[in-house]
Structures are given as C-alpha cells and as structure tokens.
Structure 1
Amino acid sequence: MSDTPAPVERKRVWATPPNVALCAETDIADPGSRGFVLQIGEAFFHGFVVRKDGLVAGYVDRCPHQGFPLAIDLDQYLIPDGSLILCGWHGAVFEPLTGACVGGPCAGTRLTPWPVEARDGVIRTA
C-alpha cells in the first residue's frame, strides 16, 4: 500500500469568457508566442497567443493530429524565424494568423481558434 495519492485528472474546457485580460501586448515579441492556462470554475483552459506583424491570434493548445499540446518547451510555439507555428511532437506546421496546417501529418486541417484581441495595449479574450 502506498501513501502517495493517485494523480487527479484535471477537467478541461475548450472556451473562455470574453474580456479576460491576459497580458500586455508588449509582453509578447513580434513575432512571438505565449501560452496561457486559465482556471474556469473547477476546469482549466489551455491556449496560446501568437503575435505577428502587429496582429494577434489565439488558439486552443491542442494539435488536430493527435490532440497533444503543441509546445514542448514553455511558450515555444513558433519556429525560430517566427514564420510558422510548430507542433513539437510530430512536426505539423501552421500559419500563425489563420491556424491553417500547411505541412506535416494534419495538412488541410487547422488549429481551433481562441478568440482574442489587442485593445488599448492589452491582449484580452474576445
């Protein structure tokens, strides 16, 4: 018998309420990305925001290929030159501002959008 408690599976949700302040727009480089985990009641939402060419886009942190989170390392959603989002597990690549998969095992699909906006220098859920 072990005194170690069994791991508890966290409930996940796939959407967030509007107008939740996430960070200052300048907290994400251009191009750059940042992951977010939001607690909503007893459940958790996992998403990330990409900033490119002065625009922001948000996505649920879940690859359409196998359902894994995309980043292996914290906040590392983009390839080094910032031109594409990379799933670090199986190499799928996505357009940063549309979420369209342009290569890899899920070509033709897209990331699930997470509505976000930059307003008055703050990135918020929309």
Structure 2
Amino acid sequence: MSDTPAPTERKRVWVTPPNVALCAEADIADPGSRGFVLQIGEAFFHGFVVRKDGQVAGYVDRCPHQGFPLAIDLDQYLIPDGSLILCGWHGAVFEPLSGACVGGPCAGARLTPWPVEARDGLIRTA
C-alpha cells in the first residue's frame, strides 16, 4: 500500500475569455495544428487550433464520440497530408475548418468550436 495520495481530477472549463494571445500565426504550419492548455482560475481549458488555407479554426480538445482528447502525440491533430483532423483513439475524421465529422464512429457529429482569430500576426481567442 502506497502513502502517495491518489491524483485528483483537474477541474475543466469549456470556454475561454476573448483576446488571449495564444501564439504567433507563423508558429503553426499551413496546414498544421497546435494544442493549448489554458489555466482559468483553478480550472483548465484544453483546446487546439488548426491552420489551413490561410485560415484558422479552434476546437475544444474533446472527441464527440467518447470525450477523449483527439491527439495521441503532442500537437498532432491532422493526418499527414493535413487534409483532415484525426481522433487518434478511434479513427474519427473531421473537416479542419468546419469541425464536421466525415467518417468514423461519430459521423455526422461536430467538434465543439473554440472561437479564435488571426489578427496582426497573432492567433488569439475571440
């Protein structure tokens, strides 16, 4: 029996305040993606940003199929050619700019949008 206390689950939030600078637009390849964890008070928000065709889109990092984060490897949300977002756990695939699931166990569902924008060379929450 260990004297180490069991870990407690961190509180989660599903929205972020506007105008939080996340990174330089150039920090994410086109096409590319990057995950973010923001501490808001005592809770944490998990999201990711996709950059494709000069546009950015943000999503809550939670698959609609079973609620798991999508990426198995850090920042690896897209398939190798950058054309789709992949849930690495169960193989669901999503359109990068709309979040629509186009294949896999949650076909017809959508990722939860996270409002972000590219402005003045920075990606920020909107």
TM-score, structure 1 as length reference: 0.99
- Unaligned ranges ≥5, structure 2: none
Q: CA deviation at 1:99?
A: 0.1
**Distance between the aligned counterparts of 1:76 and 1:14, measured in 2?**
21
Q: CA deviation at 1:97?
A: 0.2
Q: Which SS does the other structure have where 1:56 is aligned?
A: strand
Q: Which SS does the other structure have where 1:26 is aligned?
A: helix
**Distance between the aligned counterparts of 2:2 and 2:82, measured in 1?**
47
Counterpart in 2 of 1:61? Answer: 61
TM-score, structure 2 as length reference: 0.99
Aligned length: 126
Q: CA deviation at 1:110?
A: 0.4
**Distance between the aligned counterparts of 1:3 and 1:25, measured in 2?**
46
Q: Deviations over 1:26-76 (max 9, x none)?
A: 000000000000000000000000000000000000000000000000000
**Distance between the aligned counterparts of 1:2 and 1:91, measured in 2?**
37
* % identity of equivalent residues: 94
**Distance between the aligned counterparts of 1:67 and 1:6, measured in 2?**
22
Q: CA deviation at 1:5?
A: 1.7
Structure 1 runs of 4+ with >2 Å offset: none
User: Aligned-pair RMSD on alpha carbons?
Assistant: 0.6
Q: Which SS does the other structure have where 1:44 is aligned?
A: strand
Q: CA deviation at 1:2?
A: 2.5
